Amino acid sequence: MEQYKTIKHTFEPVWNEQSEILILGTFPSVKSRENQFYYGHPQNRFWKLLAGIYEEPVPETVDAKKELILKHHLAVWDVIGQCDITGSSDSSIRNVIPADIAGLLAKTSITAIFGNGNKACELFQKYTAPALTALAQTSAIQKLPSTSPANAAWRLDRLCAHWQEKINPFLIP
């Protein structure tokens, strides 16, 4: 049985001053930690989904992924800055230190926050929303179905349609 490890998030959020939509995951998977970038597992559908929504080629490099995010006024980060975890299992997460999402929001034009899956939303509500409310910042998060391959109930085409429907009102024309 794999042991718990205390792991700190070691790569920065992707954003710029024009970012208007923040997409939050929970914490980087083992593959993402190895790659030092978001959604690094080859079976995670995040990059295919964004490419489908924006009718762009699927980005292959970290630079291309950053370009896709920033071109469409997005920001990507995780709710957790540090935690104890076994492998990549979100259900094993404990001893959470949240990421400084309030600090990020203060530097951007973000008007909408979306959670990539149930766990991202649960962790946001528990660890981040109270701090944002105290600072009079937006503390609402909208749940999107996870792009994880474990979410087999959602085929890629259905995921794309649902994500696009949810974020479309916030897209820059």
Residue 162 φ then ψ, to 5°: -70, -45
In tens, the pLDDT along 3-53 reads 888 999 999 999 999 999 999 999 998 899 999 999 999 899 999 999 999
Average per-residue pLDDT in the chain? 91
DSSP state of 30: H
Q: Give one DSSP letter per residue of 94-152, joined into a string.
A: EEEEE--HHHHHHTS---EEEEESHHHHHHIIIIIHHHHHHTT-----EEE---STT-T
Active-site hit among 44, 116, 151, 168: 44
Determine the Cα–Cα distance for residues 62 and 38; give it in Å rounded to an integer.
9
Whole-number percent of the chain with pLDDT over 90: 73
Residues contacting 6, CB < 8 A, separation 6+: 82, 83, 84, 95
How does strand 80-85 pair with strand 94-98? antiparallel
DSSP 64: H
Arithmetic mean of pLDDT, 49-61? 95
Q: 83 forms bridges with which residues in the sheet?
A: 7
Q: Is 44 a catalytic residue?
A: yes
Residue 171's pLDDT is 64
